[in-house]
Amino acid sequence: MPSKSGPSMKDQVIDAVVAQTFFGKAVTLPAIKNHVMEARGDDADQFKRVLHVFKKALADLVEEELLEKETAQRYAITVEGREYRKERDAKPTKPAKKATTKKAVKRSNKKKAPVVKTRSGRVSKPAEMFTF
């Protein structure tokens, strides 16, 4: 069973009709049903649970004139159905990214105190630091 974020049954039916159409001929109802079952990954028993949704989607698509019912068992996609599919599959355009500029690093102008090394390797601090 697909998750809620998957394609709707109407979209699956339209995709099935487009995939099964050969030179603009209509597609039979069992062919559409089998294609949707394969796309969903269902077997026949699992698909029986959503058969009413499948039939409702077909009826709605015919009513919206996205599919044309040629006979009792054959459906063909209309021009409006192809336009609907193109709009659905069109990728949304993303706004252009702004060019990022690096901020200049501020450097301090303070001079560091000189470090004096003694013969034993110890570092002695200048006398200025030991003011009491």
pLDDT in tens, 80-122: 988 888 888 887 777 777 777 777 777 777 666 666 666 666 6
- Give tens-digit pLDDT for 63-83: 999 999 998 889 999 999 888
Closest CA to 112 of 122, 126, 124: 126
Q: What number of other Cβ atoms are within 10 A of residue 118's Cβ?
A: 8
Mean pLDDT of the chain: 80
Whether pTM exceeds 0.75 = no
Closest CA to 77 of 131, 19, 33, 4: 19
CA angle, 87 as apex, 96 and 82 as ends, to 5°? Answer: 150
Could you tell me which residues are beta bridge partners of residue 27?
75
Q: Which residue has the higher pLDDT, 111 or 22?
A: 22
Could you tell me which residues are beta bridge partners of residue 117?
123
For domain 9-89, the CATH class is mainly alpha
> How do the domains of the chain map onto residue ranges?
9-89
